Amino acid sequence: MQVERIHKIVIAGSGVMGGSIALLFAQHGYEVTVYDISEKGLEQCKRRLREENKTGVIAFTREKGCFERADFVIEAIVENLEIKHAFWREISAIVPGQAILTTNTSGLSITQIAKAVISPERFCGMHWLNPPHICPLIEVIKGEKTDAETANLVSQTGIRVGRVPVMLEKEVPGFLINRFQFAILREAMSLVESGVAGKEDIDRVFKYGLGLRYACLGPFEIADLGGLDTFYRIASYLFKDLSDAKQVPPMLSELAENGDYGVKTGKGFYEYSDDRAQRVIEKRDKDFRKVADCLYDHLI
């Protein structure tokens, strides 16, 4: 399979991720089908995309026949190993032999999911960031059986829709993004719990300081610019003081166990009553779009 011959994209799962990935491929001229087992899910997805005026070029279906013609499958169904296994067992038996098969799992093992895939050498992790039609990064994760050509085709396909791929030659829990994200969250919660600073101020550190830096540079570039003599001295006394907690702290576990999941339930670390949740999502997308337009215009 050559990347130029990939035209028909089938996305399984019409939720938060699937709909947005479909939009991106449709905007780049691919023939896109969104498959879901839920009629309600498909209807909601259609409604969301209609606002972007792109439903005309995306087909929506509950029929598995769409996979028989797929060149490239992106699985973005619920994050549950048994459900993903059942899906792949069935779908990998009906896709064309040369189709490229990917999963958008946030953290399940690619090698584990691949156990249900017929010809797992053409199966690969393709991890998108939310919202996928705005965030350029994709993590391409090789499972034990993924062949190099498959991973390369996944990267190339990402590039064709204006994404920036990073390759994980072998999988590791959390891939790259979530290892960084959760290292930060662990330290942030530890600082709040030990009374050093409040949540709002810690969020400000990222919005008005580190966020600007990391939007433009990576940690190795920042260290080189800061001076490795200084970074070495700081690392020598600071590493031993950073949180290395192995348990999820009560600050997170109590909220999660209480069903306070954040924006989606109206309460998390902050409150989102009335229409605040919607406004927070809209502001996020607007701000992301502004930053993306400034920094990533060369990718689009």
Ligand X SMILES: NC(=O)c1ccc[n+]([C@@H]2O[C@H](COP(=O)([O-])OP(=O)(O)OC[C@H]3O[C@@H](n4cnc5c(N)ncnc54)[C@H](O)[C@@H]3O)[C@@H](O)[C@H]2O)c1
Distances from the Cα of 254 to the Cαs of 69, 187, 193, 266, 293, in angstroms? Answer: 47, 18, 13, 16, 38
Closest residue to ligand X: CB criterion: 15
* x/- track of binding to ligand X for residues 108-147 (CB under 6 A): --------------------x-x-----------------
Q: What amino acid is encoded at 120 in this protein?
A: P
State which residue, 134 or 250, has the beta carbon closest to ligand X.
134
Comparing CA positions, the residue from 130, 123, 129, 249 lying closest to residue 185 is 249
Two tokens, residue 176: 């790259």
Assess 37 for contact with ligand X (CB under 6 A): yes
State which residue, 224 or 282, has the beta carbon closest to ligand X.
282
**Least separation in angstroms between CB 237 and ligand X:** 36
Assess 280 for contact with ligand X (CB under 6 A): no
Percentage helix, strand, coil, to 5, in the chain? 50, 15, 35
State which residue, 52 or 201, has the beta carbon closest to ligand X.
52
**Least separation in angstroms between CB 241 and ligand X:** 31
186 vs 178: CA distance, rounded Å:
12
State which residue, 141 or 189, has the beta carbon closest to ligand X.
141
**Least separation in angstroms between CB 54 and ligand X:** 17
Quick check: 263 and 278 in contact, CB under 8 A? no
Comparing CA positions, the residue from 71, 45, 48 lying closest to residue 60 is 45
Assess 181 for contact with ligand X (CB under 6 A): no
15 vs 19: CA distance, rounded Å:
6
**Least separation in angstroms between CB 177 and ligand X:** 9
Assess 262 for contact with ligand X (CB under 6 A): no
> Out of 10, 13, 32, 73, which residue is the one contacting ligand X (CB under 6 A)?
13
**Least separation in angstroms between CB 264 and ligand X:** 10
Assess 94 for contact with ligand X (CB under 6 A): no
Comparing CA positions, the residue from 123, 134, 122, 11 lying closest to residue 75 is 11
Comparing CA positions, the residue from 87, 67, 73 lying closest to residue 154 is 73
Which own/partner pairs from 50-53 qualify as long-range (CB within 8 Å, at least 24 positions apart)? 52/23
DSSP 184-204: HHHHHHHHHHTTSS-HHHHHH
Query: CA-based angle 233:236:237, to the nearest 5?
Result: 100
> Out of 24, 30, 36, 113, which residue is the one contacting ligand X (CB under 6 A)?
36
Q: What amino acid is encoded at 148 in this protein?
A: A
Q: Determine the size of the site formed for ligand X (CB under 6 A).
A: 22
Quick check: 9 and 30 in contact, CB under 8 A? yes
> Out of 6, 11, 17, 74, which residue is the one contacting ligand X (CB under 6 A)?
17
> Out of 27, 61, 106, 156, which residue is the one contacting ligand X (CB under 6 A)?
106
Assess 24 for contact with ligand X (CB under 6 A): no
Q: Terminal CA-to-CA distance of the chain, rounded, Å?
A: 25
* x/- track of binding to ligand X for residues 54-93 (CB under 6 A): ----------------------xxxx---x---x------
State which residue, 66 or 151, has the beta carbon closest to ligand X.
66
Using CB under 6 A, list all residues that contact ligand X: 12-18, 36-38, 41, 76-79, 83, 87, 104-106, 128, 130
